[in-house]
Amino acid sequence: MKCAKCGVDLHSDDVYEYAGQTLCEDCYLDLVATPKACDPWAVHSAKKMSKNQLSLTPLQEKILNLIKEGDPLTAEEICEQLGISESEFRSNFVPLRHMELARACKEGNKVCYTLFDS
Ligand SMILES: [Zn+2]
């Protein structure tokens, strides 16, 4: 199996599905973590959020604090320390990325998460 976007070989445990495409974690994160022009609602709501109410859920605050202290961290490390599932982490990470508080980055072969401006 190969990533539909960048063509990297995929292992069955790090395959991501997005809009019917099979993607590697990088490409998947690019798509879900970056507001795109084709998704005006996401861009709109993210901008609105960051201007009017920079309010995070308790879980999002925990994720952000964890990244602040230990960055960069992998999703596994974050999930382990917070006792959440990876899908929980992802859905909570997306708003942090939209608000430009945190972002994904590459550390060697691993995808890690770090503060947006670090
Ligand atoms: Zn890819």
pLDDT for res 43: 53
How far, in Å, is the centroid of ligand 1 from the Cα of 92? 22
Q: For 9-50, write each residue's pLDDT tens digit.
A: 988 777 888 888 899 888 888 777 765 555 555 555 555 555
Q: Which amino acid is at 25?
A: E
How far, in Å, is the centroid of ligand 1 from the Cα of 15? 10
Q: How are strands ordered across the β-sheet holding 110-115?
A: 73-74, 110-115, 102-107
How far, in Å, is the centroid of ligand 1 from the Cα of 53? 33
Mean pLDDT over each residue of the chain, to the nearest integer: 82
How far, in Å, is the centroid of ligand 1 from the Cα of 116? 21
pLDDT for res 51: 47
pLDDT for res 91: 87
pLDDT for res 81: 94
How far, in Å, is the centroid of ligand 1 from the Cα of 43? 23
Angle at 78 between CA 53 and CA 80, to 5 degrees: 135
In this prediction the pTM is 0.56
